[in-house]
């Protein structure tokens, strides 16, 4: 992730010719409940989103001729989400400027990590600055809704409890923690997973308040000694009106054992169907659980899975299968571009 970009620019638009190294972070779903299906075929969901520091990066160069172009992102269609986001924003704002984008993909596709949606959101936030549009965050979220259900949360910029099709968002203060994320080198089609007749579509609805109480109990559990400052802050902010550092997450990391208990709230209703469609997920789950000592969970519609990591940030299991992508990530307290729109 570019640590410079997020801290240099203020929220007010300024005349710019380029923006370099703009980060687009991945997300994890702590749980994902399918509570119903609407008449239009879309599903009613409940989930908790948290950003992690596995990021794509995008460079933006202003074009005065009104053209919109993109390079990089091998294998992506010409009309990918970055290009579609730029076109949608230009149409929404009535803007005549253009942009050339250079995309450096690091987040795997069809992994349930939100890479394409995050790219689109960072395009909206960056072009709002580059083109000097001065649009508010709520306006950018409205543009994002037309691009995909996960785009609005990346524009929203805060970890969130989400409902509806995933676009009704309420801000959450979540702990920082280290997480081992594994992608097995094969993706899953979101449409196929949601379209499976075996998918559970009637999980009883939970409440954000119930989630926060569960999180507070997990982080305050005395079974493991040495509660970190970050976990203390997050427990207070989530359930007891506490205060914290500017990113709302405290200065240190919650322990893996506490995070394992925190993740006991809910399930990912898509995981069973995804494992039927990609049996390799069972191997990923077993591999993660053996190395992390806790239950592994799938993010989104898969195929990436994750578990709280008890090791250090620069420590990685030595027996990573050759075709997999495995990273130790840090869960973030906020999106790195949170200050880029009022």
- List pLDDT tens digits, range 240-286: 233 233 333 345 899 999 999 999 999 999 999 999 999 999 999 99
Please confirm whether the linkage preceding 172 is cis (ω < 30° from 0).
Answer: no
| CA–CA dist 333, 51 (Å, integer) | 7
Superfamily of domain 178-330: GHMP kinase, C-terminal domain (3.30.70.890)
| CA–CA dist 52, 176 (Å, integer) | 9
Give pLDDT, residue 223. 46
Q: Tally DSSP H helices, then E strands, for the chain.
A: 11, 10
Domain edges within the chain: 5-174, 178-330
pLDDT < 70 regions, the chain:
1-15, 222-251
Task: Give yes or no on whether 5-174 and 178-330 have one common fold.
Answer: no
* Residues with a known catalytic role: 27, 150
Give pLDDT, residue 227. 36
Q: How does 39-49 read in b/e, with b if 16+ C-beta sit within 10 Å?
A: eeeebbbbbbb
Question: Quick one: tokens of 209?
Answer: 């308040």
| CA–CA dist 252, 329 (Å, integer) | 14
**Quick check: 23 and 336 in contact, CB under 8 A?**
yes
Domain spanning 5-174, CATH class: alpha beta
The pTM for the full model equals 0.88
**Quick check: 337 and 157 in contact, CB under 8 A?**
yes
């Amino acid at each position: 992730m570019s640590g410079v970009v997020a801290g240099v620019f203020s929220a007010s638009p300024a005349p710019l010719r380029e923006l370099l190294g703009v980060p687009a972070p991945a997300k994890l779903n702590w749980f994902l409940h399918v509570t119903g299906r609407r008449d239009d075929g879309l599903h009613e969901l409940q989930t908790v989103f948290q950003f992690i520091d596995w990021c794509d990066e995008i460079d933006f160069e202003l074009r005065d001729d009104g053209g919109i172009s993109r390079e990089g992102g091998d294998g992506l269609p010409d009309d990918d989400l970055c290009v579609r986001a730029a076109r949608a924003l230009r149409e929404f704002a009535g803007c005549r400027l253009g942009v050339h984008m250079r995309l450096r993909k690091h987040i795997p596709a069809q992994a349930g990590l939100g890479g394409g949606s995050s790219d689109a959101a960072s395009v909206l936030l960056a072009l709002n600055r580059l083109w000097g549009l001065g649009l508010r965050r709520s306006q950018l979220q409205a543009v994002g809704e037309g691009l995909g259900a996960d785009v609005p949360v990346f524009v929203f910029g805060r970890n969130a409890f989400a409902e509806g099709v995933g676009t009704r968002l309420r801000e959450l203060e979540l702990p920082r923690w280290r997480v081992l994320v594994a992608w097995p080198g094969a993706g899953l089609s979101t449409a196929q997973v949601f379209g499976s007749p075996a998918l559970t579509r009637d999980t009883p609805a939970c409440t954000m308040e119930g989630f926060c109480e569960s999180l507070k109990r997990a982080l305050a559990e005395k079974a493991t000694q040495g509660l970190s400052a970050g976990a203390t802050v997050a427990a207070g902010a989530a359930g007891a009106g506490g205060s914290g550092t500017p990113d709302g997450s405290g200065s240190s990391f919650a322990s893996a054992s506490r995070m394992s208990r925190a993740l006991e709230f809910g399930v990912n209703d898509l995981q069973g169907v995804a494992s039927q469609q990609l049996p390799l997920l069972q191997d990923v789950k077993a591999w993660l659980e053996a190395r992390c000592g806790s239950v592994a969970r799938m993010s989104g519609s898969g195929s990436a899975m994750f578990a709280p990591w008890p090791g250090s940030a620069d420590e990685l299991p030595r027996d990573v299968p050759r075709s997999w992508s495995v990273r130790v990530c840090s869960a973030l307290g906020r999106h790195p571009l949170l200050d880029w729109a009022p």
